[in-house]
């Protein structure tokens, strides 16, 4: 899609607003799956009430996380690289084979460097989709970065040898493949689920924004001491098929002790551009790898994770385990010995042996670990052993 206009602060802000509305329900559902996998899902064992005299117990089985870990082994096979030659002539076929080998080697190199494939598999299982970003980093092979400059009388062989040695020792590879968390990116998709544009919220310190990005706003705030150099501010990374742009989304300092929100556009008419350039890749650098897709068009239902059909059962399982643990901890009475004294409702005490000799149902007062006040427990005998209800 050539000829895209240069992104502006207003256009990126408006797109952010649109994508937040489109993806909001899906993101909230994904957060429920995330909390279930990481055993952070809320459990309301007993409703909060002034009459409640029991402290509830929360018990999470961890089954969701275990299922994802076991299923992850099924997705660890590496993808096969294939390049289709445009024609059947020998030169095009040979070029396609070289592209296949280069792609496989590049994938292997970045897999060792970033280990992104495992994270991709987990995202597909949990959220029904995963994202990979492939970006050029041409600045790694420049004279400023140490790339060898040919000397006037240096032969071709000597120069190539020096370049090869630099690449093997000091040089960094000018291409990066990395995993993008599914909950950290808002993609604009076409009808075939191809990525057209993306919004990512990142955070940068005030020092980086002032020195590296040259933000006048941040520089002024630092000079007035309304910001500290280590304060983190929100930065939007916008990418489409032609442009990459970083924009300052606001001056509200990040607080890691409070939940983050992507709705930075609220109260902001336009973001402040920091840096914009053409990436020259010819397509969007981020690729979405979908899992199971349904025929439903809304994003909340279109992408189906591995736990989707079992979500209600997993939530109920944790609830029932917590309810059972709460009841047992509150009301369970161990079998008494014959000489153990039990408190009766009238305030008197009798040993279990005395009550057993009467051979009838009786009431005792008990206080469990989670029960702040004594409550009645009813018991009756079945043979020689008591059964408490």
Per-residue pLDDT of 303-323, as tens digits, reads: 999 999 999 999 999 999 998
Residue 4: inside a domain: no
Confidence of residue 370 (pLDDT cuts 50, 70, 90): very low
356 vs 368 pLDDT, higher one: 356
303 lies in the same domain as 359: no
Confidence of residue 143 (pLDDT cuts 50, 70, 90): confident
Minimum mean pLDDT range among 28-42, 280-294, 346-360: 346-360
Residue 124: inside a domain: yes
Q: Tell me which of 280, 314, 348 is where a domain ends.
A: 314
Minimum mean pLDDT range among 62-71, 161-170, 205-214, 283-292: 161-170
Angle formed by the axes of helices 311-331 and 63-72, nearest 10°: 140
Q: What is the mean pLDDT of the chain?
A: 85
pLDDT at 388 over 60: no
269 lies in the same domain as 381: no
Residue 321: inside a domain: no
Write phi, then psi, for 112 (nearest 5 degrees): -70, -40
pLDDT at 379 over 70: no
99 lies in the same domain as 247: yes
349 lies in the same domain as 265: no
Q: Tell me which of 279, 314, 349 is where a domain ends.
A: 314
281 lies in the same domain as 342: no
- Name the percent of the chain lying above pLDDT 70: 86
201 lies in the same domain as 350: no
Residue 113: inside a domain: yes
59 lies in the same domain as 208: yes
245 lies in the same domain as 309: yes
User: Which range of residues forms the domain containing residue 376?
Assistant: 333-388
Which pLDDT score is estimated for 109?
81
Count of structural domains, the chain: 2
363 lies in the same domain as 297: no
20 lies in the same domain as 93: yes
pLDDT at 216 over 70: yes
**Planar angle of CA 237, 134, 132, nearest 5 degrees:** 80
- Which residues is 187 bridged to in the sheet? 198
Q: Tell me which of 255, 287, 314 is where a domain ends.
A: 314
Q: Give the pLDDT confidence of 287-306 residue by residue, as tens digits.
A: 999 999 999 999 999 999 99
Minimum mean pLDDT range among 7-16, 34-43, 222-231, 356-365: 356-365
Which pLDDT score is estimated for 359?
64
Residue 281: inside a domain: yes
Confidence of residue 120 (pLDDT cuts 50, 70, 90): very high
Residue 149: inside a domain: no
- Which residues is 237 bridged to in the sheet? 200, 246
Residue 261: inside a domain: yes
Neighbours of 249 (CB within 10 A): 23
Q: Give the pLDDT confidence of 93-116 residue by residue, as tens digits.
A: 999 999 999 888 888 888 877 888
Residue 218: inside a domain: yes
User: Averaged over 250-257, what is the pLDDT?
Assistant: 86
368 lies in the same domain as 220: no
- Name the percent of the chain lying above pLDDT 90: 50
Q: Which residues contact 341 (CB under 8 A, 6 or more apart)?
A: 349, 350, 351
310 lies in the same domain as 338: no
């Amino acid at each position: 899609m050539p000829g895209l206009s240069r992104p502006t602060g207003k256009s990126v802000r408006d797109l952010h607003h649109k994508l937040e509305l489109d993806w909001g329900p899906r993101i909230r559902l994904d957060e429920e799956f995330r909390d279930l996998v990481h055993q952070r899902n809320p459990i309301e064992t007993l409703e909060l009430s002034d009459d409640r005299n029991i402290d509830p117990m929360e018990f999470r089985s961890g089954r969701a996380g275990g299922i994802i870990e076991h299923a992850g082994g099924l997705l660890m096979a590496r993808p096969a690289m294939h390049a289709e030659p445009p024609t059947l002539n020998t030169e095009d076929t040979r070029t396609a084979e070289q592209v296949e080998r280069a792609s496989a080697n590049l994938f292997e190199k970045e897999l060792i460097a970033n280990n992104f494939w495992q994270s991709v598999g987990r995202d597909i299982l949990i959220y029904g989709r995963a994202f990979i970003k492939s970006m050029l980093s041409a600045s790694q092979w420049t004279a400023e970065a140490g790339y060898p400059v040919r000397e006037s009388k240096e032969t071709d062989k000597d120069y190539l040898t020096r370049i090869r040695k630099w690449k093997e020792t000091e040089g960094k590879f000018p291409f990066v493949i990395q995993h993008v968390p599914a909950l950290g990116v808002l993609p604009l998709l076409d009808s075939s689920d191809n990525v057209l544009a993306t919004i990512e919220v990142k955070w940068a310190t005030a020092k980086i924004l002032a020195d590296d990005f040259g933000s006048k706003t941040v520089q002024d705030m630092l000079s007035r001491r309304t910001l500290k150099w280590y304060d983190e501010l929100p930065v939007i990374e916008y990418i489409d098929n032609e442009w990459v742009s970083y924009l300052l989304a606001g001056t509200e300092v990040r607080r890691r002790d409070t939940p983050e929100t992507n709705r930075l556009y609220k109260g902001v008419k336009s973001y402040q551009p920091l840096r914009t350039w053409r990436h020259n890749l010819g397509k969007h650098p981020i690729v979405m790898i979908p899992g199971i897709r349904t025929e439903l068009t809304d994003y909340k239902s279109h992408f189906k994770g591995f736990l989707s059909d079992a979500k209600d059962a997993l939530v109920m399982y944790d609830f029932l385990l917590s309810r059972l643990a709460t009841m047992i901890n509150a009301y369970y009475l161990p079998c008494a010995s014959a000489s153990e004294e039990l408190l009766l409702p009238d305030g008197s005490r009798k040993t279990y042996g005395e009550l057993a000799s009467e051979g009838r149902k009786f009431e005792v007062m008990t206080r469990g670990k989670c029960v702040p006040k004594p409550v009645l427990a009813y018991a009756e005998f079945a043979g020689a052993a008591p059964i408490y209800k």
